[in-house]
Amino acid sequence: MEIKRMQLGMIQTNCYIFWDENTLDCAVVDPGDDGEQVAAFIQGRGLNPVAILLTHSHFDHILGIPGLRAQWPNLPVYCHPADVNPNETTTSLFGTTFPSVSSFGNVLPYQEGDTVPVGGLTVHVLHTPGHTPGGVVLQVEDALFTGDTLFEGSMGRTDLEGGSETQLLHSLKRLAQLPGDWRVFPGHEGSSTLERERTTNFCMLEAMRRG
């Protein structure tokens, strides 16, 4: 598996493209707000996109969907049902309204225990609420795409609508208890490893301490 990170938009959201080196099938995790740039990379590498995978539905993670759909109109978007806003728009921290996930159409639900094939790769879905009700972590081989659940040295904020510190700490404890080590690819800032976060991340340490 190959992984490309692209930092997009005003909040420098991490978009990830990962692909099967044999089939060249790829998936886009959280396309940020610049689908055209993501599409250009995919086309430049000769990849075949099969899915957009959302870790959650905040605006800075989803606004790139139309740019990708301009090239691949039938590209499915996967999102946890708890994060598919049935309204036409959602309001951001900046007082601006943005389209909700549901407004893009062809949104498929995935939740705890589901899998999504990407070529010869298998994406496993872990429901990790707290930052949002429908937040998920996506496990592919030895990689965890953690969205805004787990950051390098910290965790996602819980003061936005639908956030819960109790739930997020429970989700961090669950991740900490995964056996072995994993590469961690968060929704913002730098990458890490799960073992590093187990030993240095004060949020994860607090989650484990609470028992």
Q: What is the DSSP string of the chain?
A: -EEEEEEETTTTEEEEEEE-TTT-EEEEE--TT-HHHHHHHHHHTT-EEEEEE-S---HHHHTTHHHHHHH-TT--EEE-GGG---SSEEE-TTS-EEE-GGGGS-EEE--TT-EEEETTEEEEEEE--SSSTT-EEEEETTEEEEETTEETTEE----STT--HHHHHHHHHHHHTSSS--EEEESBS--EEHHHHHHH-HHHHHHHHT-
pLDDT of residue 88: 42
pLDDT of residue 29: 98
Digit-coded pLDDT (tens) for 13-42: 999 999 999 999 999 999 999 999 999 999
Higher pLDDT, 211 or 44: 44
Q: In terms of DSSP bridges, do strands 115-118 and 121-127 run parallel, antiparallel, or are they unpaired?
A: antiparallel
Digit-coded pLDDT (tens) for 87-145: 444 555 556 677 788 888 899 999 999 999 999 999 999 999 999 999 999 999 999 99
Give percent above pLDDT 70 in the chain: 94
pLDDT at 58 over 50: yes
Digit-coded pLDDT (tens) for 152-201: 999 999 888 888 899 999 999 999 999 999 999 999 999 999 999 999 99
Answer yes or no: are the C-beta atoms of 19 and 110 closer than 8 Å.
no
Mean pLDDT of 59-71: 94
pLDDT of residue 89: 43
